[in-house]
Structure 1
Amino acid sequence: MFYLVGLGLGDATDITVKGLEIVRKAKRVYLEAYTSILTVGKEALEAFYGREIILADRDMVEQASDELMADADTDDIAFLVVGDPLGATTHTDLILRAVEKGLQYKVVHNASIMNAIGCCGLQLYNYGETVSIVFWEKDWQPESFYDKILINRERGMHTLCLLDIKMKEQTIENLMKGRPIYEPPRFLSASQACQQLLEIVKRRDADKVTDSDLTPDTVCVAVARVGASDQKIAAATLAEMCDLDMGSPLHSLVIPGHMHPLEGEMLKLFAVSDRVREFLEVVEKR
């Protein structure tokens, strides 16, 4: 059996009882190590699970599924994923490949940022399409995520923005020369994401601004290390968020749409300034 096991968002103890039983009896245990991270390393997981864990990078998952799933027809193979196993399309692809090989599979679900984002007080059923904000490079600065945020806001929906993670990346030079040298991991912060959003705002035609468009005064919400003991939530304007240090990764960002008074009341708990509190008090009184 090929198992995809969710680990949750915090540390080694967030695995479910069902997931832990699978890990402890599996022939091999892999840890997907590029779409997200836990607050603890592989060694802490191995100590708690009592099992050796094999790190599975992007190349292994996407190009070496035969190795990953070897013996899954006769033995249990566990593939561990931070959050929920189906929070990324890569893992759906793994299921399809397992089926193509005639293998049985089971998914053990767990908490992910997709539902844990409710911690900020904005109701889950009021969210629209989730977007990803990527690191901008000097010659590559895409803006498509901004337009999706506006579409959500036009519908009165909140937007969860997942922020870019760079794991085991190579420079163009090392890639072309075939040198197995990788750049240090990078994680897009909430402040960097807001800086990019405000840069897009500056580029857009100011004469065509609508109520759905973002401005430096738009209230947004940053969350960091959701599910961990040092979880942090902050509600600030986009301009304020550009200078706000949310600490170590992972960060996510929410751009609210139309807010119910209870959402405003809850969000006020995390306001970083009087300006934001005053705005949310108006929301409460609607």
Structure 2
Amino acid sequence: MLSFVGLGLYDEMDVSVKGLEAIRDADLVYAEFYTSHLAGATPERLAEFYGKEVRILSREEVEVDPEGWIGEAREKNVAFLVGGDPMISTTHLDLRLRALRMGIVTRIIHSSSIVTAVSGLTGLQNYRFGRSTSIPYPYVAGSKRIVATSPYDVVVENLHRDLHTLLFLDIQPDRYMTAGEGAALLLEMEEIAGESQLNASLGVGVARAGSDDAVVIADWLPRLADRDFGGPLHILVVPGRLHFMEAEGLVALAGAPPEILDGAEP
């Protein structure tokens, strides 16, 4: 059997009781931490808490050539650990489908996810979110700096529909994107598009969700780009038109400019 086990938001304590039992009952335990990771825990702390050796898989072992370790689940109980909730990433769905095609029984053990936690932390209503997207770091091709603009298109589309946008921020082995960097990149994308809508848009940054020192800050995007949120991980939200309770929540919970109350819907 192959068990996909969600580890939750921040550290080793976030795993569910059911998830912890699945890990401790497993013959082999694998994990991937490039789609998300627990900023409050190291692999060594996870292994000590679980009482199991945890092998961290590379991106290639997960996306390109996973059949070897997946195949071990034909004869053994294999636990595959991911930050947050399994199947939020399409990478995990691909692995589950591969396992099913190999005749391997699978199961999912859910945990907390930033997708739902962001609503509780910010006061934004979950059903008001539209399509989410990711902001990647710019890259250099030859001598040219390339900034992907598709995240901006998603934000604008959601704004036109009065929906909020959840923006996942790039995670790389040697760095993580901050909410301020994400806001600055959105504004740069808008400049490339020759538009100016986001200069008057609100942004909400969340850092270290699930920890005791989680930070939630709401401000106009140009000002949010200069705010310091502290350590990882961060996520960014660009809200659409606000219900009055959402506006009150952002002012009370995230220090949003009080003037947002004037334009809120009844």
TM-score bin, normalised by smaller chain: over 0.9
Aligned partners of 1:127 and 1:160 also within 8 Å: yes
Aligned partners of 1:260 and 1:283 also within 8 Å: no
Q: Which residue number corresponds to residue 70 of structure 1?
A: 71
Q: Which residue number corresponds to residue 101 of structure 1?
A: 102
Secondary structure of 1:226's counterpart equals coil
- Paired residue for 1:282, among 247, 262, 265? 262
> 2:67 & 2:110 partners in 1: Cα distance?
24
Q: Which residue number corresponds to residue 87 of structure 2?
A: 86
Q: Which residue number corresponds to residue 250 of structure 2?
A: 267
> 1:199 & 1:21 partners in 2: Cα distance?
47
> 1:271 & 1:108 partners in 2: Cα distance?
32
Q: Which residue number corresponds to residue 26 of structure 2?
A: 26
Q: Which residue number corresponds to residue 136 of structure 2?
A: 134
More deviation, 37-46/197-206: 197-206
**Aligned residues with identical type, % of pairs:** 38
Offset, 1:33: 2.0
Q: Which residue number corresponds to residue 160 of structure 2?
A: 154
> 1:270 & 1:240 partners in 2: Cα distance?
18
> 1:200 & 1:9 partners in 2: Cα distance?
29
- Paired residue for 1:229, among 212, 229, 232? 212
TM-superposition CA deviations, 1:34-87 (whole Å, max 9, x none): 111101101111111111111112111123322212331222000000001111
Which residues of structure 2 form unaligned runs of 5+?
A: none
User: CA 1:92 to 1:271, structure 2 compared with 1: closer, same or farther past 3 Å?
Assistant: closer
- Quote the RMSD (CA, aligned, Å): 1.5
Q: Which residue number corresponds to residue 35 of structure 1?
A: 35
> 1:145 & 1:49 partners in 2: Cα distance?
38
Matched, 1:11 2:11: yes
TM-superposition CA deviations, 1:216-261 (whole Å, max 9, x none): x321100011111221100011111111111111111000101100
Matched positions, count: 260
Matched, 1:214 2:216: no
TM-superposition CA deviations, 1:134-190 (whole Å, max 9, x none): 1112432111111111110111000001111123xxxxxxxxxxxxxxxxx221111
> 1:214 & 1:281 partners in 2: Cα distance?
18
Matched, 1:163 2:147: no
> 1:200 & 1:95 partners in 2: Cα distance?
35
Q: Which residue number corresponds to residue 144 of structure 1?
A: 150
| Structure 1 length-normalised TM | 0.87
- Paired residue for 1:245, among 200, 204, 228? 228
> 2:90 & 2:265 partners in 1: Cα distance?
41
TM-superposition CA deviations, 1:180-207 (whole Å, max 9, x none): xxxxx2211111111111222333335x
Q: Which residue number corresponds to residue 180 of structure 2?
A: 191
Runs of 4+ that moved beyond 6 A: none
> 1:40 & 1:244 partners in 2: Cα distance?
25
Secondary structure of 2:213's counterpart equals coil
Aligned partners of 1:5 and 1:85 also within 8 Å: yes
| Structure 2 length-normalised TM | 0.93
Which residues of structure 1 form unaligned runs of 5+?
A: 168-184
Give the partner amino acid of 2:127: Y
Give the partner amino acid of 1:123: Q
Aligned partners of 1:31 and 1:80 also within 8 Å: yes
Larger Rg: 1
